[in-house]
Amino acid sequence: MEENPYDAGPGTIFNLTGTWRPFEKATLYGRIGYFSSRDLIYPRSGSFVSVPGVWLLDVCATVRDVAGSGLELELSVRNLMDRNYETPGTYDLIEGDPATVSVTLRKRW
């Protein structure tokens, strides 16, 4: 394949987000997103590689004032369903982000 391919981007992008505060000190956040198939185009050779669309789900929970004033605990999961997918990279297709879990503890001063 020729060098310097380009990604024209997906034809359809969809994001639906929601935030819910079941209690004053707790916040839940969710996002479901979709992007349609994408082509990695090699202009000199006139060829392309196509990857299918994918649905992704991210969730996050935040609790404020944990064990004292100003302490905040956040748990977030990106790509919750751990979908294996490829996406156009700089020069070729690359693996999409795997499921990622992060725990963050913040203190407001």
What's the structural domain count of the chain? 1
For residue 85, give the DSSP letter: -
Q: What pLDDT is stored for residue 88 in this prediction?
A: 81
Structural domain contains residue 58:
yes
Mapped onto helix, strand or coil, the DSSP state of residue 66 is: coil
Structural domain contains residue 1:
no
Residue of 41, 50, 39, 38 whose CA lies nearest to 6: 41
Structural domain contains residue 48:
yes
Structural domain contains residue 67:
yes
Range of the domain at 73: 6-107
Structural domain contains residue 45:
yes
pLDDT band at 1 (very low <50, low <70, confident <90, very high): very low
pLDDT in tens, 23-43: 999 999 999 999 999 888 777
pTM of the model: 0.79
Q: Are 88 and 109 in contact (CB under 8 A)?
A: no
Q: Count H helices, E strands: the chain? A: 0, 10
For residue 92, give the DSSP letter: S
Within 10 A of 79 (CB to CB), how many other CB atoms are there? 19
Q: What pLDDT is stored for residue 24 in this prediction?
A: 92
Q: What pLDDT is stored for residue 2 in this prediction?
A: 46
pLDDT band at 4 (very low <50, low <70, confident <90, very high): low
pLDDT in tens, 49-105: 888 999 999 999 999 988 878 899 999 999 998 889 988 877 778 899 999 999 999
pLDDT in tens, 87-102: 887 777 889 999 999 9
> Strands 71-78 and 6-7: what pairing?
unpaired
